[in-house]
Amino acid sequence: MRGALRSRAGMRPCSRKEGSTRGFTPCRESARMSMAGKFDYVYQGEEEKLTAAYDKKLLKSLLSYARPYFARICLCLLAIVIVSACELFAPQIIRAAIDYALAPAAGSGAPLDSRITTLWLLGGALAGTVLVRLLLGAFEAYEIQRITQHALNALRSDVFTHVLKLPLSFFNANPVGRIVTRLTSDIQSISDFFSVALLAFFRDIALIIGSFALMFHLHARLTAYLFVVLIVIAVSVLYYRKIARAVFRELRRKIAKLNGFLQESLTGVSTIQLFGYEGTSSNTFQSIANEEYQSTLTELKLHSFFRPFIRGISILADVLIILAGGKLVIEGELSIGSLVAFLSYNNLFFSPLNDLAEKYGVLQSAMASSERLFLLLNEPVEPSGRKSLGAGSSGLEIEFRNVWFAYRGEDWVLKDISFRLEANQSLALVGPTGAGKSSIVGLLLGLYKKQRGEILVGGIEIDEIDKEALRGVMAFVQQDLFLFQGTLAENVTLEFVGNDQTAAIPISQDSNLAQLLGRLPLKAKISSKAGTLSVGEKQLLSMARALYRTPRILILDEATAHIDSITESLLQDALSQLEGKLTSVVIAHRLSTIKESDQILVINHGSIVEQGHHSELLAAAGLYAAMYKLQMAQAA
């Protein structure tokens, strides 16, 4: 193990031979540079299979997150009913004020004092309804927002937790920005639906039904005239619904595409600058942004047309009521107060329909976002067994039995791989780039699933082992370490909530890493970019992170490629304390560093071509010996 630290063959994501789904980090270069230097931005699987046939199912799924707050929702609905009743009662008060106080019917003989008293009483009643509406309206608005935030927090947590359980191949095929859109703007669209459209929907239903019933009560024949208008509105709504769903779905897709390009471009800004592709990248962004702009304009045009159209229909209804109702007033069949009340109820009836375009837009946007979120939630999680590896502090044996593996179809990356590594021993994997070394480690980490053969860890088939338990006994020292924003200690322990920031100190002292980690205070804040850390210091953190886990299997990927000789010596001393206490697997390029490995596998074209100790492989005078002699000659 001691000599195995200088291996240079890293686990390279998305290598040429192994395809775009290979590696241990998502492939982030979906924007490909063509021969002309132009970004041809491609999404894998961007055209999602969305159907409009399950709106009710989506709505039911969304509302399931509000089910725990059923009692509060009932209180909100009760408040809506009372507020709506107050709104419906107000025109009746105004009707009574006109007919009995302001313009009593001829021959009623009501004295002036009585009419003034009636007017005061009715005015007080009207003021009372306004006060009730204000108080209960504020209550329902606060409660529905509170329920919405609780429900969406649960939905967001479920989606994020599910995403963390998805297989690596999903992230290789989906840009990070696209996934972030699901957790941000798609959630916000659903929030708008819950807090605005859903609450308004119940209020509008109450107003539409109540106002129509009261209009019918005031004058049935005059109400019948409105059916012609209602037929026009119904046909318009059905047509608008058909168009709006497609428009909002396309808009959400364009937004996700734009966010994905932004995230990847900003992540790879150094590559763009180094290769001089600022102009082409900017042009690609403008092209994608223009697509989003055009989709937004289409949505605005649809909204701008539909709302004035409904408003125009309601005005025509007012004209119809004034003409027909005025004739009834002249003929003495309808009082002036009743006509005024009828007009008020007509406004209450059409007011929700006037806002239908906006509310329906929110609904369709939420439905489109819901489709995308629940498609994400329906993505199959990484398969996992149920067995554990048991407690213990020593290493575990590893065995591959006739393992075949391909990323796609039968384009085999590994062919009939068989070897056995005893517990507490070290194994080095060597071979040309793309030979399959990274794939072996990927299978061992449970990142990919083999097509044939068996892989045993601790004597248990790997597919039968719980993934969390499997990775709980392993530690992977990465060449390209990802750092989280936080303190140095938090990046060692990976405990970001309520952790003891000095927890990593005993680990560093026990493994002779105190001087290494002493270069930075454990409480020092670092960003995910870690601009203040050198590449070597990042590798030290990677080693400290691995050793903190007290693993039973240690996997190293170019552990000391960028570390000076003094630091390397300290690391080797630290690891020497673990010899005989854990099992180690090393990917190596510099063969001089793996002389002390218990077993060396030479991989070429996906097969084991040589196997043995360093001295045995040199004596065999095969590929390993040729590679070793070449490296020694280059070092001379």
Tens digit of pLDDT for each residue in 582-615? 899 998 877 877 888 899 999 999 999 999 999 9
106 compared with 381, residue with greater pLDDT: 381
Structure tokens at 125: 């009643």
- Dihedral Cα 137, 143, 144, 148, nearest 10 deg: 160
Give the pLDDT of residue 30. 36
The whole-angstrom separation of Cα 123 and Cα 128 is 9
Query: Does residue 358 sit in the same domain as residue 406?
Result: no
Its sign, for the CA torsion 353, 300, 51, 148, is negative
Query: Does residue 110 sit in the same domain as residue 184?
Result: yes
Query: Does residue 339 sit in the same domain as residue 463?
Result: no
CB 377 within 8 A of CB 158: yes
Q: Is residue 111 part of a domain?
A: yes
Last residue in a domain, options 317, 343, 377: 377
* CATH number for the domain that contains residue 520: 3.40.50.300
Last residue in a domain, options 344, 377, 410: 377
Q: Is residue 13 part of a domain?
A: no
Asked if the model's pLDDT at residue 348 lies above 70, the reply is yes
Query: Does residue 419 sit in the same domain as residue 347?
Result: no
Angle at 316 between CA 315 and CA 318, to 5 degrees: 65
Q: Is residue 47 part of a domain?
A: no
Between the two ends of the chain, the Cα-to-Cα distance in Å is 25
Query: Does residue 303 sit in the same domain as residue 431?
Result: no
Tell me the average pLDDT across 425-435.
Answer: 90
Bin 549: left if φ > 0, else alpha if -120 < ψ < 50, else beta: alpha
pLDDT tens digits, 187-234:
888 888 777 777 777 888 888 889 989 999 888 888 888 887 888 888
Tell me the average pLDDT across 108-115.
Answer: 70
The whole-angstrom separation of Cα 115 and Cα 419 is 104
Give the pLDDT of residue 405. 94
Q: Is residue 361 part of a domain?
A: yes
pLDDT tens digits, 10-53:
333 333 333 333 334 333 333 333 322 333 333 334 444 444 44
Query: Does residue 216 sit in the same domain as residue 265?
Result: yes
Q: What's the whole-number average pLDDT of the chain?
A: 78
Q: Is residue 37 part of a domain?
A: no
Query: Does residue 436 sit in the same domain as residue 323?
Result: no
Lowest mean pLDDT among 309-313, 407-411, 506-510, 532-536: 506-510
Query: Does residue 125 sit in the same domain as residue 256?
Result: yes
Structure tokens at 151: 């429900």
Bin 107: left if φ > 0, else alpha if -120 < ψ < 50, else beta: left
Percentage of residues in the chain having pLDDT higher than 70: 80
Q: Give the confidence band of 518 by pLDDT, cuts at 50, 70, 90.
A: low
The whole-angstrom separation of Cα 578 and Cα 322 is 93
Which helix (H) or strand (E) segment holds residue 340: the answer is: helix 336-354
Give the pLDDT of residue 187. 85
Tell me the average pLDDT across 495-500.
Answer: 54
What does the chain come to in residues? 636
Query: Does residue 256 sit in the same domain as residue 401?
Result: no
The whole-angstrom separation of Cα 317 and Cα 228 is 10
Query: Does residue 352 sit in the same domain as residue 429?
Result: no
For 557, the domain range is 397-446+454-495+513-635
- Tell me the residue type at 9: A
Asked if the model's pLDDT at residue 503 lies above 60, the reply is no
Long-range interactions of 509-516: CB distance < 8 A, separation 24+: 510/577, 511/547, 511/574, 511/575, 511/577, 511/578, 512/570, 512/573, 512/574, 512/577, 513/540, 513/543, 513/544, 513/547, 513/570, 513/571, 513/574, 515/570, 516/540, 516/544, 516/567, 516/570, 516/571
Q: Give the confidence band of 509 by pLDDT, cuts at 50, 70, 90.
A: low
Rounded to an integer, what is the distance from CA 61 to the centroid of its chain? 17
Structure tokens at 471: 């990775």
- Tell me the residue type at 49: K
SS3 401: strand
Q: Which one, of 496, 497, 547, lies nearest residue 517 by Cα?
A: 547
Query: Does residue 551 sit in the same domain as residue 473?
Result: yes
Q: Is residue 575 part of a domain?
A: yes
404 compared with 592, residue with greater pLDDT: 404
Which helix (H) or strand (E) segment holds residue 610: the answer is: strand 607-612
Rounded to an integer, what is the distance from CA 148 to the centroid of its chain? 18
Structure tokens at 209: 């039904």
Q: What DSSP designation does 464 have?
A: G
CB 375 within 8 A of CB 354: no
Give the pLDDT of residue 357. 60
- Dihedral Cα 409, 415, 416, 417, nearest 10 deg: -120
Give the pLDDT of residue 265. 82
Upper half-sphere CA count for residue 452 (Cβ side, 13 Å): 13
Give the pLDDT of residue 307. 76
* CATH number for the domain that contains residue 170: 1.20.1560.10
Q: Is residue 8 part of a domain?
A: no
Give the pLDDT of residue 37. 33
pLDDT tens digits, 49-105:
444 444 677 777 877 888 888 888 889 889 988 998 999 999 999 888 888 878 765
Structure tokens at 16: 């040429």
Return phi, psi of residue 587, to 5°.
-90, 125
For the whole model, what pTM was predicted? 0.66
Q: Which position has the token pair 């206490």?
A: 581
Percentage of residues in the chain having pLDDT higher than 90: 18
pLDDT tens digits, 153-189:
888 888 888 888 888 878 877 777 778 878 888 888 8
Count: domains in the chain = 2
Give the contacts of 400 (CB within 8 A, at least 6 positions apart): 417, 418, 419, 420, 440, 453, 454, 455
Q: Give the confidence band of 399 by pLDDT, cuts at 50, 70, 90.
A: very high
Give the pLDDT of residue 564. 66
Query: Does residue 488 sit in the same domain as residue 577?
Result: yes
Give 291: exposed, middle or buried? Use CB within 10 Å, 0-12, 13-18, 19+: middle
Beta bridge partners of 477: 556
Q: Is residue 387 part of a domain?
A: no
Last residue in a domain, options 321, 349, 377: 377
Q: Give the confidence band of 422 by pLDDT, cuts at 50, 70, 90.
A: very high
Give the pLDDT of residue 521. 62
